[in-house]
Amino acid sequence: MEIIKHIEKAKKGDQVAFTFLLDYYWNEVYGFMLKRTENETDAEDITIETFSKAFDKISTYNPEYQFNTWLIAIAKNVHIDMLRKKKSALFIEITDEEDQQAYNIADSSPSAEDELITEQNLSQLLLYIKELKPHYQEVIQLRYFQEMSYQEIAEHLDEPLSNVKIKLLRAKKLLAEIISGK
């Protein structure tokens, strides 16, 4: 019954209810995906995206089914989408001429133009990140620029692991909205 109450609160936008549901089901979804992917990073990414999609679409949840079953179904779909993206990235069709051109390239180090483009993209990304609230900037910086694990971030910030996960979910979502709005 407690789960149902939290789901109903989450449908109304209650952040505490979202956090409760994330805490309650995180290990189950993550464990399931870890068995499927046999890769901690992929399992973590899929789990984060699963909760993000679930929270975005929680109004569509049908209480006739178990909430964890619904989450696992979302996780499976996220995993399938990830596999499709990886597969399509692996099989890019190129002509014999393009293949020969690639083979003839002697120097694979980035050109001055490549470095400039990368630098401009990074500086633009940093400007977008600065539009976030400071606590979201901090978790993005710790996770993606200092490459800390979720646990290390939680210890660094002296916050529960679930808060770090939620903050990162929110930060990534807000950052995507900022970028797509530009």
Q: pLDDT tens digit string along 107-141?
A: 455 556 566 666 677 788 888 889 988 888 999 88
Report the C-alpha gap between 135 and 146 in whole angstroms. Answer: 15
Cα–Cα distance for residue pair 30/39, rounded to 1 Å: 11
pTM for the model stands at 0.54
**Which amino acid does the sequence have at 154?**
A
Q: Where does residue 141 rank: exposed (0-12), middle (13-18), buried (19+ CB within 10 A)?
A: middle
The residue ranges of every structural domain in the chain are: 2-90, 110-181
The tokens for 20 are 């409760």
For the domain made up of 2-90, give the CATH fold. Answer: Rna Polymerase Sigma Factor; Chain: A (1.10.1740)
Q: What angle do CA 60, 162, 123 make, to 5 degrees?
A: 90
Distance CA 78, CA 76 (A): 5
Give the model's confidence band at 41: pLDDT under 50 very low, under 70 low, under 90 confident, else very high: confident
CA pair distance 109, 143, nearest whole angstrom = 27
The answer to whether 2-90 and 110-181 have equal CATH topology is no
Q: Which CATH number fits domain 110-181: 1.10.10.10, 2.60.40.2250, 3.40.50.800, 1.20.1250.20?
A: 1.10.10.10
Q: Render pLDDT for 45-72 as a digit per residue (tens, 0 to 9).
A: 899 889 988 988 999 998 888 999 999 9
CA-CA distance, 53 to 86, in Å (whole number)?
20
Q: Is the pLDDT of residue 106 over 80?
A: no
